[in-house]
Amino acid sequence: MRLWVVLVTGVVLWLPSFVLHRSGQRLHARPCASDADPKGSSIRSANQDPDNAELQKILPIFRTTDGTSVRGKKWVRILTGPSDWNVELEGWLLEETPESIRLLEAHGDITVIRKPRLGEKRPERRDNSIPFFGDMPARELAVWSLQPADFVNSCKQLLNESIRSRAPDPGAWRGEAAGHAVAACRYACWAEQVGEASLVPQLLGRARRAQALCIEFSPQTPRDLYLLVANELALQNRGQVAFRANQGAPIAKILDTWKTIAKIPYHNYHQEAERMVRDYATLIAEERAWIEPDQKTLSRMSAEERAAHWLFHLRDADAAHYKGPGIRGSGWCSVLSDLYWSAPLPAPGRDREGMTAEAQQSATKQKKPAIELHKLGMAAIPQLIAHLDDPRLTRCLGYYQGPYLLRYGDCCQQIFESITGYYTLYPKEAGRSGYPIKDGKGAECKARAERWWQDYQKKGEKQLLIEATERGDSDSVEQARRLAAKYPDVALPPIVK
């Protein structure tokens, strides 16, 4: 799952180099060329020590993301996954009950993992696929072994891990170096909390070397280490929460993540985080007030009432740029991809909540709000126009200079264009993302659609198709196709004109 986050959201998360082993062998870190500080480093008194001053700025950052101090906690190693593909996790054991454990993982995630039921046998992975942690089904995701581990030794392994990236892409190279800086600072904070002060200067020294590599690639990188850490953590969390929203995470959990991002000090995304907290709180309030009609009531609704119904559920649309064709580039998300992509790619993590194969198959048969609005045709147009400037969030995930969850207005623009064939409602000019709300063009898009609708009502569909075909612009081919299909007796003259 960690790898999926990197590939799908574009957020580069660094983890130590891991090697998978078959047949019950452990998943472990392989040390690379040493970047460790010389032995014998020690912390000087607080009033003489720049490391301590730096650490005091970094500590509040990780207290926010960790949610707790690790003082008095045990550093443990657990084995999970199928019997023939051990997945090893290390971290702080925050809580243990007869049913589960709560683990603060080495890379900062807090994970609850169940314990096996009485008599439960560890399954095998028969399809020979690599079991990424977040992609494992519930039957594999259990604490099959829980053992004490050595935090000091884990710190030494981290210090021996090479900082120099082997990634071919410069952006990934910079992101990996930043990840090294964040990880070293996280471990330094933990070392201070558990009384391993001698490790702090070594870990902060490693973080500064990683920071220097970031600056080498990107001169805009903050010169203060604590600012780099705060911004990288906020950036990583932004990417992860967008991906989890697309995967169907409960809105309450998404809201909690944005609240955490808002509380992280120093970073540049506070305004966005505060806005997202308000936006998700609004969605929760709307859902609490919503009364879902039964199928009998829904079947009796007029087309306009059904349009209102599916527009409410547009918030649950979950298209993504990796699930269907990238019409305007690999990162562009089409909310109507199911219309022309017969077998959407299954997203990773879909069965994390323990869905059976039957439940997953049933979920794929559920009606898609965007598709249902498209089916309503012109009857949905007035309400689609009304929401073209609507900034409320959906679960649709695109990628343009970072992960982006499409808003209502973005989705309505695509549905409007598909129904009308008016694909220049939002011209795809250079420098634009393809999403009007993201580009701040929702109101402009709405005004253009309102003018089109006035012409449609005044002139009628046939005349509008004739005029659009005669114009000879980028919309004319589609308009001519529709004219020929519906009004063949008048199609030829405008086409040859």
Give the distance from CA 165 to its chain's centroid.
24
Q: Coil, strand, or helix at residue 97? A: coil
Query: Rounded distance, CA 435 to CA 448, Å?
Result: 15
Least confident of 30-39, 70-79, 84-93: 30-39
Asked whether 1 and 349 are in contact (CB, 8 A), the reply is yes
Asked whether 405 and 242 are in contact (CB, 8 A), the reply is yes
- Here the tokens at position 343 are 């077998």
Nearest by Cα to 18 from 7, 5, 30: 30
Q: Coil, strand, or helix at residue 373? A: helix
Tell me 123's DSSP state.
P
Query: Rounded distance, CA 53 to CA 65, Å?
Result: 20
Q: Coil, strand, or helix at residue 454? A: helix
Q: What is the pLDDT, as a whole number, of residue 216?
A: 87
**Is residue 7 scored above 70 in pLDDT?**
no
- Sorting pLDDT into bands at 50, 70 and 90, what band is 263? very high
Question: What are the residue ranges of helices labelled H in 46-169?
Answer: 50-66, 151-160
Query: Rounded distance, CA 174 to CA 11, Å?
Result: 11
Strand 87-96 with 74-80, pairing? antiparallel
Q: What is the pLDDT, as a whole number, of residue 170?
A: 61
Instruction: Look up the pTM and report it.
Output: 0.79
Tell me 197's DSSP state.
G
Asked whether 191 and 203 are in contact (CB, 8 A), the reply is yes
The burial class, CB within 10 Å (0-12 / 13-18 / 19+), for 87 is: buried
Q: Is the dihedral of CA 58, 64, 69, 70 positive or negative?
A: negative
- The 10 Å Cβ neighbour count of residue 351 is 18
Of all residues in the chain, the percent with pLDDT exceeding 90 is: 61
Q: What is the pLDDT, as a whole number, of residue 11?
A: 42
Least confident of 205-209, 317-321, 441-445: 317-321
Phi first, then psi: give them for residue 407, nearest 5 degrees. Answer: -95, 170
pLDDT in tens, 348-398: 333 333 333 444 444 445 789 999 999 999 999 999 999 999 999 999 999
Strand 74-80 with 28-29, pairing? unpaired
Residue identified by tokens 């996280």 is: 186
Q: Is 283 left (phi over 0), alpha (psi -120 to 50) or beta?
A: alpha
